[in-house]
A and B are shown apart, each in its own frame.
Chain A
Amino acid sequence: MQDVGRAIRPETRPPGTDGLRTDVLRTDVLRIEDLHLSFATHGQLTEVVKGISLRVPAGKTVALVGESGSGKTVISQAVMGLLPRNGVIEAGRILFADPAKAGAGVDIATLPRDGRAIRKLRGGRIGMIFQEPMSSLSPVHTIGNQIEEALQLHQRKPRREARRVTEHMLGLVGFRDPHRSYDQYPFELSGGLRQRAMLAMALICQPALLIADEPTTALDVTIQAQVLKLMKQLQAEMGMAILLITHDLGVVANMADEVVVVYRGQVMEAGTVDDVFRRPQHPYLKALLKASPDFDMKPGERLVALREVAPVLPQSLARREITANTPPLLSVRNLRKSYGAKNNRVVAVEDVSFDVARGQCLGLVGESGSGKTTVGHMLMRSRSADAGSVVFNDGTGPVDVLALGEAQLRAFRPRMQMIFQDPVSSLSPRMTVLDIIREPMIIQNRLSDTEQKRRAMELMECVGLDPRFLSRYPHSFSGGQRQRIGIARALALNPDLIICDEPVSALDVSVQAQVLNLLKDLQSSLGLTYFFISHNLAVVHYMAARIAVMARGRLVEIGPREAIFTRPAHPYTRTLLKAVPLPDLDRRLDFASCVPTGGASDPASWPEEFRPAAPGRLGLIDLGGGHCVLADAGCTARDLTAA
């Protein structure tokens, strides 16, 4: 690992002399020096952090970047003294110097676990927020109670005073009515508000350091922009340093002053954000940058996966010829779905219409709760639609999917297959890979026993896996490999259309590129048609030729990729595009303008012509070239593009 040593810039290397260190400590809140961490499993020590050094200067943001399993979360746990019971610090120091207190810092690595000294730091001088805002708050205590507790632990105050401070903090993190929110429970709040409550809890004692472990990964893109903006604002006001742990290079480019890239427990590269993005040295970092999709990619440009998979096409799956002038493979009209009791109906999907041309990939973008997954499920008939039609036409005549009877539906199923989001829970842990891939053929009574096995072997090769792994169980595969098994299963019946529901959201950037490339290769070589659901605009940009945008159950805009990304007409699409953090220093988020004050999908924040003034007044307006936008039926294309 010689080149690793070279890649570390001198300013982050631990100083050799004591005199120097006290000097440095005055400006660095946190210094980790040559940290070695191990986990004891079955009496054996496995080293997960192998000599990491980094620093966090006072008032600055340092991003710790790496894929899952790189050890970045373990480092944050070590700083908080919250390592799992079997975690051991084998060597190295974690120096924390409180800027509020002069003098030498403390070495957290030597403090007794859960002792008084480390507890004073936790919450008091070092705050922490986590990825999942729902599970990191107790569901049975009010947020006021949980936030105030942190305050009372470190700065005892009379009850009334404490409540006042807590409410003030809630106001600071953007709660509109802090007095009322104090008594609310986490389940009454949206994900974004919960993460704000977490921020309030972490910051209420004015810590010198905030550790944010993937703080926005679970949030929608517009909410993410809001939370990132809030973190910057609070940093400017309170002057705390931030150790930002993330795998998202877009977030890094927008937030960090310095960056440390870790891979398998070692620092690959470290330096200022400028150095890291403009002059990446280490091959791993360069590869990571090339593997993340962004909006600059030309049509036809490929992502460079860290480990590329070349599909070997099975002979048994014939390529479909795509001829011009064929009717659309899938034609969806006025789809509608609502949930709930009679007096309390929630409309999940309303009046959604679109076509998917043969051999095309239609991307469907939307935030959580927009109804995009419900649409996917209705196409598959796993949920019933209240109204509307879904017509499938592979050239042999139209099939009304929603009207199929049980036996007909069963016979139709092979035409349409699905790839799921979660590669862990979508594969049965009790079946071998062979059984998993064969199952669709067994259900459909296709092929003989030996032919099924041969097909399974071909499919394994097709997704870049060794056919010898067929007898293994899913747990022995990584997330990306499992997702490829899921793809093989979807291909088993040789479908025309594959519905991909967030197929890469659970994967690391490096693996994501690999799976996306595989899907692209399969599409072009087999002539497949995709319906690609995702919340990630960059991924949809890479995959789809046509893109549809959903908000609050309605399709607000649909058009060719070019039009959507360069000439978005709907205010929601524009907000969405503006809120995406790109891994590009020259196009950082403009926090002042990118975040609407209300919710991005709230029609009240849209201009008049896009608001539903009266029921039934909204319609898709054609802007030319297949680009349509949902607006008041009285508007013309010119009105909308001028805005």
Chain B
Amino acid sequence: MLLRYILRRILLMIPTLLVTSALIFTVMELPPSDYFETYVAEMAAQGEKADTSRIEFLRREYGFDKPIIERYFLWITGFVQGDFGYSFEYEMPVRDVVGERLALTVLVSVCTILMTWIVAFPIGIYSATHQYSWGDYGLTFLGLLGIAIPHFLLALIFMYFANVWFGLSIGGLMDPVYFNQPMSWEKAQSILAHLWIPVIIIGAGGTGTMVRAIRANLLDELQKQYYVTAKAKGLPPGKALRKYPLRMSLNFFVSHIGDVLPSIVSGSELTAVVLSLQTTGPLLLRALQSQDMYLAGSFLLFLSCLTVVGVLISDIALAFLDPRIRLQGGSTK
């Protein structure tokens, strides 16, 4: 029953992704010019002449003379085989451009998400169980600050004070000398030393939102009759809270895992730009600006894949967590 449900969901992913990829491709093709024209124009503006023979070669190589449908299929079949296309701007395969940046992005994002959860859960639970206490008010206020201040602004503030007070330069994810170098002990140390600042900055807003969500959900559950039943059984307050209302409030949390996965890769573009992090965010921005279509398109499609997989994971987790979904799924329709 559950297995069939999962299988059906996986099969359903295929048409979803096909439609998404077609949409992405259409949007990439919408502008009247393409990368080469932009490139030639840019060169001309700088008073230089572009290498037209090379451009012609690339155009043919990537089928720009072929009809749009054919190009779409070329791209999508390549994508499935792990060939994400060629970045014209960087003049190398997309896979190599993304390369180390992807690993770093995943590192930053996973740390951020973990921090968000580790900080938000205890605070949310405290706030809900001590509703309208000074602690609740204080923590809620801090959370609101976290939500209200834009990341990039927080990044600027951090950079300024780190420089003024400690004389530190906190930009980047490592000392620039290590970038694109093989992993070494020194490099790892450098990354760890730089990592915490973007994690705090990017995590601030998420933590605030998460605290509010946990608090609100848990407050709803605390009103429920079954919590009174649990206490009427003689359960100690802590255990009653963990087994019943907290467990129920997890539903919302699990259903959000789907949104988390893509954000692992895309990260916070603006913050990454301000802090000059070597993550994928700035890359995507630049690719969109310069119409580097394979880089941008592959990247977007990759994000869509992650979203779909994330939703699948949270649906499966929900089915495990909540017997009502597991056992009644079909009958409510």
A residues adjacent to B (C-beta < 8 A): 80, 82, 114, 119-124, 127-128, 130, 132, 135-142, 146, 149-150, 153-154, 185, 187-188, 198, 201-202, 341, 344
Within the assembled complex, what's the spacing in Å between the Cα atoms of A198 and B323?
19
Nearest CB of B to A85, in Å: 9
CB A115 to nearest CB in B, in angstroms, measures: 10
User: Which B residue sits closest to A145, measured CB to CB?
Assistant: B243
**Which chain B residues border A150 with CB–CB below 8 Å?**
233-234
11 contacts between A and B (CB under 8 A): A80-B232, A122-B233, A127-B232, A128-B229, A140-B247, A140-B248, A140-B321, A149-B233, A185-B323, A185-B327, A201-B233
Complex CA gap A344/B332 in Å reads: 12
Q: Is the CB of B234 within 8 A of A135?
A: no
- Smallest CB gap from B231: residue in A: A82
CB distance from B250 to the nearest CB of A (A): 9
Answer whether residue B328 sits at the interface, using C-beta atoms and an 8 A cutoff: yes
* Residue B235 CB within 8 A of the other chain: yes
State which of B1-9, B76-84, B151-159, B220-228 sits at the interface with chain A: B220-228
**Neighbouring A residues of B333 by C-beta, 8 Å:** 341
**Least distance between A52 CB and chain B CB atoms (Å):** 21
Inter-subunit contact A138/B327 (CB<8 Å)? no
Q: Are A136 and B233 in contact (CB under 8 A)?
A: no
* Closest chain A residue, CB of each to CB of B227: A138
CB distance from A250 to the nearest CB of B (A): 25
| Main secondary structure on B side of the interface with A | helix
> Could you tell me if B234 and A120 are in contact, using CB atoms closer than 8 angstroms?
yes
Contact of A130 with B229 at beta-carbon distance under 8 Å, contacts A114-B236, A120-B234 already known? yes
B228 CB contact (under 8 Å) in A114, A136, A201:
A136
Within the complex, what minimum Cβ distance (angstroms) separates B321 from chain A?
7
The yes or no answer to B302 lying at the interface (CB within 8 A) is no
7 closest Cβ contacts across the A-B interface? A123-B234, A123-B233, A122-B234, A135-B225, A150-B233, A136-B225, A138-B226
> Per-residue CB proximity of B146-180 to A under 8 Å, as 1/0?
00000000000000000000000000000000000
Q: How far is the CA of A202 from the CA of B247 in the complex (A)?
A: 22
Mark interface residues in B239-278 (1 if CB within 8 Å of A CB, else 0). Answer: 0000110011000000000000000000000000000000
Docked-complex contact A114 and B237, CB < 8 angstroms: yes
Instruction: Please give me the residue from chain B that is nearest to A116 by CB atom.
Output: B236
- Partner among B225, B235, B248 whose Cβ is within 8 Å of the Cβ of A149: B235
Q: Which of B182-217 contact A (CB under 8 A)?
A: none
Q: Which residues in B have their C-beta under 8 angstroms from that of A82?
A: 228, 231-232
| Closest A residue to B226 using CB positions | A138
Question: What chain A residues lie within 8 Å of B243 (beta carbons)?
Answer: 141
Contact of B327 among A137, A188, A344 (CB under 8 A): A188
Chain A residues closer than 8 Å to B40, beta-carbon distance: none
Known contacts A82-B231, A123-B234; 20 additional CB pairs below 8 A are: A114-B231, A114-B237, A119-B234, A122-B231, A123-B232, A127-B232, A128-B229, A130-B229, A132-B225, A136-B228, A137-B226, A138-B226, A138-B248, A139-B323, A146-B229, A150-B234, A187-B324, A201-B233, A341-B333, A344-B331
Structural contact, A138 and B232, CB atoms closer than 8 A: no
A140 touches B234 (CB 8 A): no
B234, A187: Cβ atoms closer than 8 Å:
no
Contact A130 B247 (CB under 8 A): no
CB distance from B112 to the nearest CB of A (A): 30
Cβ-based interface call for B230 (8 A): yes
Contacts of A344 in B (CB 8 A): 331
B237 cross-chain contacts in A, Cβ below 8 A = 114
- In angstroms, Cα B248 to Cα A141, docked, is 10
Contact with A along B290-333 (1 / 0, CB 8 A): 00000000000000000000000000000001111001100101
Q: How far is the CB of B50 from chain A (nearest CB, A)?
A: 63
Known: A138-B244, A185-B324, A187-B328. A153 touches B224 (CB 8 A): no
Q: How far is the CA of A344 from the CA of B331 in the complex (A)?
A: 9
Give complex CA distance A202, B248 in Å: 23
A140, B235: Cβ atoms closer than 8 Å: no
Point out the residues of chain A lying under 8 angstroms from B228, CB to CB: 82, 130, 136
> Shortest Cβ distance from A337 into chain B, in angstroms?
18
Taking the nearest CB of chain B, how far is it from the CB of A469, in angstroms?
A: 31
Measured CA separation A456–B326 after assembly (Å): 51
Q: Are A136 and B234 in contact (CB under 8 A)?
A: no
- Closest CB in chain A relative to B105 CB, distance in Å: 36
Chain B residues in 8 Å Cβ range of A185: 323-324, 327
A146 to B230, CA, bound (A): 8
Q: Which listed residue, B224, B247, B327, B328, touches A135 by the CB 8 Å rule?
A: B224
**B229 and A137 form a contact (CB under 8 A):** yes
Q: How many angstroms between the C-alpha atoms of A139 and B322 in the bound complex? A: 8
For B224, B243, B323, B333, which residue has the most chain A Cβ atoms within 10 angstroms? B323
A141: B residues at CB distance < 8 A: 243-244
Min CB–CB distance A191 → chain B (angstroms) = 14
A81 to chain B, nearest CB (A): 9
Partner of B323, one of A123, A124, A140: A140
Residues in chain B near residue A142, CB distance under 8 A: 323
Min Cβ gap A618→B in Å is: 28
Contacts of B244 on A, CB cut-off 8 Å? 138, 141
B residues 44-99 in Cβ contact with A at 8 Å: none
In the complex, residue of chain B having the shortest beta-carbon distance to the beta carbon of A187 = B324
Given the complex, which residues of A lie within 8 Å of B232, measured CB to CB?
A: 80, 82, 122-123, 127-128, 202
Q: Which of B234, B322, B331 has the most CB of A within 10 A?
A: B234
A136–B235 contact, CB under 8 A? no
Which residues from chain A contact B234 at a C-beta distance below 8 Å? 119-124, 150, 153-154
Query: CA–CA, A284 to B220, complex, Å?
Result: 38
**CA distance in complex: A528, B199 (Å):** 71
Closest-by-CB residue of B relative to A134 is B225
Give the Cβ gap from A268 to chain B, nearest Cβ, in Å: 28
Q: In the assembly, what is the distance between CA of A141 and CA of B243, in Å?
A: 9
**What is the minimal beta-carbon distance from A423 to any residue of chain B, in angstroms?**
22
Please, which residue of chain A has its CB at the minimum distance from the CB of B323? A185
Task: Please indicate which of the listed interface residues A137, A146, A202 has the most CB atoms of chain B within 10 Å of its own CB.
Answer: A146
Contact (Cβ within 8 A) A153 B225: no
What is the chain B residue whose CB lies nearest that of A188?
Answer: B327
Kindly name the residue among B231, B232, B235, B236 whose own CB sees the greatest number of chain A CB atoms within 10 A. B232
- Give every chain B residue within 8 A of A138 (Cβ-Cβ): 226, 229-230, 244, 247-248
Partner of B225, one of A124, A127, A130: A130
| Minimal beta-carbon separation of B225 from chain A (angstroms) | 4
Q: A80-B232, A120-B234, A123-B234 are in contact. Are A136 and B226 (CB under 8 A)?
A: yes
Q: How far is the CB of A340 from chain B (nearest CB, A)?
A: 9
- Complex CA–CA separation, A149 to B224 (angstroms): 19
The distance in angstroms between the C-alpha atoms of A137 and B229, with both chains bound, is: 7
CA of A122 to CA of B237 in the docked complex: distance in angstroms?
12
Which of A127, A149, A188 counts the most chain B CB atoms within 10 A? A149
Shortest CB distance A206–B (Å): 14
Instruction: Report chain B residues within 8 Å CB of A198.
Output: 229
Q: Which residue of B lies closest to A340 (CB)?
A: B331
Q: Which residues of A contact B247 (CB under 8 A)?
A: 138, 140
Cα A187 to Cα B233 in complex, Å, equals 21
Q: Which residues of the other chain, B, contact A139 by a CB distance below 8 angstroms? A: 226, 248, 322-324
Q: Given the complex of chains A and B, what is the CA–CA distance between A198 and B228 in angstroms?
A: 13
Cβ of B22 to closest chain A Cβ, rounded Å: 32
Instruction: Looking at the assembled complex, report how far the CB atom of B330 sits from the nearest CB atom of chain A, in whole angstroms.
Output: 9
Find chain B residues with CB under 8 A from A153 CB.
233-235
The smallest C-beta distance from A547 to any residue of chain B, in angstroms, reads 34
Collect the chain A residues with CB atoms within 8 Å of residue B229's CB: 128, 130, 136-138, 146, 198, 201
Q: In the assembly, what is the distance between CA of A130 and CA of B226, in Å? A: 10
